[in-house]
Amino acid sequence: MTSLVADMISAIIAAGYATSLGTDIFAWQIRPSPPAQIMVMLTGGEPPLESVDSSTPRPGIQVYLVDRNLAAAETKAESIRNYFSLKKSTIRQVIRAARSTPIYLGQLDDGRHKFVVEFKVFG
């Protein structure tokens, strides 16, 4: 697990949105259970900010929310988006929401609903 994914998972747990890694929050893949869960993974970000003597990375991170209850998944996705939408010194220097709302990705084969919240990270 990359440090950025681990940092985001820790921040989500600290904010009270999940209990513990391996219980209701996972890295890199959605699990068959529990029915309600969060998954965190890296995604393509923006190119690094280059200057004469430094390079600042600007990665992206996605937080997936899965639940049998559509309203519960949407509410938690929106809540996480709002909480991390412009946080300083939580995940690297700054984390901000990449989109104005969570994106509904439809239902999984088992009937659970899936949302994604995308973030851009600086530093």
Q: State pTM to two decimals.
A: 0.89
Q: Enter the tokens of residue 116.
A: 């994604």
Q: Enter the tokens of residue 88.
A: 């300083």
Helix (H, G, I), strand (E, B) or coil at 5: helix
Structure confidence at residue 22 as a pLDDT band (50, 70, 90): very high
Write phi, then psi, for 45 (nearest 5 degrees): -105, -150
Structural domains for the chain: 3-122 (3.30.2000.10)
Report which of 73, 11, 7 is spatially closest to residue 42, judged by C-alpha positions: 7
Residue type, 62: Q
pLDDT of residue 96: 86
In percent, how much of the chain has pLDDT > 90? 66
C-beta of residue 8 within 8 angstroms of C-beta of residue 61:
yes
- Give the CA distances from residue 44 to residues 17, 33, 93, 105, 120, in Å, rounded to whole numbers and listed in that order: 24, 27, 18, 18, 9
Residues in the chain: 123
